[in-house]
Amino acid sequence: MYSGSGFSDWEIGDITVIIHEGVYHLFHLIIPNHDYIAHAVSNDGISWKRVKNALFVGNPGEWDDDMLWTMDVVEVNGKFEMYYTGLQRRDRGVISRIGLATSDNLLDWEKSEKDIFPISPKGIFYENETDNPRKWLSFRDPFWYKYKNEIYLLVCARSITGPVSRRGCVGLVKITNDVVELRPPLVYPMMYDDIECPCIFELKGRYYIIGSIREDIKIRYWFAGDFFGEYHSFHSDVLLPKGNYAARIVKDGDHILLYNFFYSYGKIDALRVLPPPKELDIDESGRLLIKSYYRWDMQVTKTILQTDFGNVKHLLSNPTASSAIEVDKWTCASRSGYEIFSFDKPSSSFIWEGLLTVEGMGKLGLVSDIDEDGNGYFISFDVQNGLLQMRAWGFNPLDVRQNFIFNELQVGVFKMNKENRFNFRLIHYGNYIEFSIDGEVKLTLMDYAFSGGGIGLYSASSVISLQNSVVKILPEPIDEYASQEEARKSPESSLGPL
């Protein structure tokens, strides 16, 4: 994982990732100053090391002398282009424009002096400097896309018509032979103030546009049969749950990876972290699915079978609870009240997989980082309503009047099949937690509250069974600041092994 933080814990801003010659390159903003674009590299897309900063704000009087905002980096004819957002002090930083920088090697960047830059909104489609009732102008967050040999930029823009708080749209700029043409919005849902960090990709015959929504800090998407086609939403248009933001995609061979940063605790000024990527796929109806990163299984150092998990503890000593531990099946139940059935986790970073079957009514779920008093993380399954909830639950020694912690960290939805069973996958990597049901990621977050030594199941008036379960051991996360020591001592080898 990567936070890029120094004096404060929330310095990482919007991101873009490009893969070149097997090396993952991350470019990101620095919050809150926005005075430069940082650059980090990785060999696995998970652990990152900072290298030479890419771009700085302009000198006084230049169009980008106030702040730098979201960028996109692409390879074009063996060279690299960075389209980025700039703000100017003369405008008091309320007008965003789009510029270009170029590089031969991804390390050394030069701002373009072509007359077409910076690009500003003009014409009849978008709010502009003279028609801007919100009093700050969004024309930013460019995303480069090539369609039928024509170059386009998707941008976070605002329609020139509509209710002021609902004008957010995905604007479109066409660039042909250094001629800029502003085209009508690709997506204008008439719902949001802004659609931030838009990006587009084609997958199995459909086009998908992803955007981040400030109103609820979620990532949503739209689809169409053609690049210029009318874009629609499914019944559920949330791609990543609350706390995940500023998502961008990158193609990694046959894989489409989704990167974003995470707001810890759902607060904009709390710790921000770049979690490991997820992968994009679609179901039989064309709806986007989030899957685990293919490199997780490449990280596994050891696999432990269910028969070797060790003793199962009844942490709460509930007299109505029972557990039958057989060679090929664990059955755990509690007729009345709660019981936590835990075993020792063999490592602080692991993948726990298995088949869960609900054999009775009542409440049930998984626990992680649980201690002897039952403090830890609880993943609850409401199998009747298809609701999945991740909670931090335990004792609070700092407040005698409210001596408990009960924080809902994230919510997801799932469908229960007729057999009342599903395959699950829990990834716990440092402070990163990812949970999947039947191969689809439902929860993805960072949290720092608990680090107990147990994992397991819980039951409240329910009967559940566990089969075909394994725990896969992962290496401990590389400390990004320790890795930085190598780069500081030997900057010329900063692209070497991490």
Instruction: Render pLDDT for 213-261 as a digit per residue (tens, 0 to 9).
Output: 999 889 999 999 999 999 999 999 999 988 899 999 999 999 999 999 9
- What percent of the chain stands above pLDDT 70? 95
**CA neighbours within 13 Å on the CB side: how many for 344?**
5
Q: Are residues 260 and 304 in the same domain?
A: no
Whether 324 shows a pLDDT value over 60: the answer reads: yes
Phi and psi (nearest 5°) for 425?
A: -145, 120
Name the strand (E) or helix (H) holding 290: strand 288-292
From CA 69, how far away is CA 62, in angstroms rounded? 15
Q: Are residues 225 and 289 in the same domain?
A: yes
Q: Are residues 342 and 421 in the same domain?
A: yes
Residue 496 placed within a domain: no
- Give the CA distances from residue 292 to residues 7, 381, 468, in Å, rounded to whole numbers and listed in that order: 32, 20, 19
Q: Within a 10 A sphere around the Cβ of 244, how many other Cβ atoms?
A: 25
How many residues are there in the chain?
A: 498
Q: Are residues 332 and 416 in the same domain?
A: yes
Residue 399 placed within a domain: yes
Q: Are residues 7 and 59 in the same domain?
A: yes
Q: Are residues 287 and 307 in the same domain?
A: no
Residue 486 placed within a domain: no
Q: Are residues 314 and 453 in the same domain?
A: yes
Whether 328 shows a pLDDT value over 60: the answer reads: yes
Phi and psi (nearest 5°) for 493?
A: -110, 25
The CATH code of the domain that includes 405 is 2.60.120.560
Instruction: Render pLDDT for 88-100 as a digit per residue (tens, 0 to 9).
Output: 999 999 999 999 9
- Give the CA distances from residue 165 to residues 133, 140, 192, 287, in Å, rounded to whole numbers and listed in that order: 10, 17, 7, 28
In the DSSP assignment, the letter for residue 120 is: -
Whether 268 shows a pLDDT value over 90: the answer reads: no
Q: Which residue has the tokens 């835990």?
A: 342
Whether 7 shows a pLDDT value over 70: the answer reads: yes
User: pLDDT band at 489, cuts 50/70/90?
Assistant: very low
Identify the domain containing residue 252 by its residue range.
2-295
Q: Count the domains in the chain.
A: 2
Q: Are residues 281 and 304 in the same domain?
A: no
Residue 437 placed within a domain: yes
From CA 375, how far away is CA 404, in angstroms rounded? 10
Phi and psi (nearest 5°) for 205?
A: 90, 0
Whether 492 shows a pLDDT value over 50: the answer reads: no
Residue 118 placed within a domain: yes
Mean pLDDT value of segment 258-284: 86
**Residue 51: helix, strand or coil by DSSP?**
coil
From CA 99, how far away is CA 116, in angstroms rounded? 9
Mean pLDDT value of segment 447-462: 95
Q: Are residues 466 and 432 in the same domain?
A: yes
Whether 210 shows a pLDDT value over 50: the answer reads: yes
Residue 181 placed within a domain: yes
Strand segments (E) across 293-420: 302-305, 313-314, 321-325, 330-344, 350-358, 363-370, 376-382, 387-395, 404-413
- Does residue 268 contact residue 249 with C-beta atoms inside 8 Å? no
Closest CA to 294 of 441, 468, 411, 422: 441
User: Which comes out higher in pLDDT, residue 328 or 1?
Assistant: 328
From CA 113, how far away is CA 224, in angstroms rounded? 36
Mean pLDDT value of segment 272-282: 95
Closest CA to 428 of 358, 377, 355: 377
Residue 498 placed within a domain: no
Last residue of a domain, one of 295, 321, 341: 295
Residues linked to residue 334 through DSSP beta bridges, in sequence order: 321, 462
What pLDDT is attached to residue 242?
86
Closest CA to 88 of 56, 66, 119: 66
Last residue of a domain, one of 278, 295, 312: 295
Q: Are residues 358 and 337 in the same domain?
A: yes
Mean pLDDT value of segment 276-288: 96
Whether 493 shows a pLDDT value over 70: the answer reads: no
Q: Are residues 251 and 338 in the same domain?
A: no
The CATH code of the domain that includes 143 is 2.115.10.20
Q: Are residues 329 and 289 in the same domain?
A: no
User: pLDDT band at 366, cuts 50/70/90?
Assistant: very high
pTM of the prediction?
0.93
- Does residue 9 contact residue 445 with C-beta atoms inside 8 Å? no
What does pLDDT average to over the chain? Answer: 93
Whether 2 shows a pLDDT value over 90: the answer reads: no
Q: Within a 10 A sphere around the Cβ of 181, how many other Cβ atoms?
A: 11
From CA 316, how far away is CA 456, in angstroms rounded? 13
From CA 62, how far away is CA 111, in angstroms rounded? 11
User: pLDDT band at 353, cuts 50/70/90?
Assistant: very high
Last residue of a domain, one of 240, 261, 295: 295
Residue 234 placed within a domain: yes
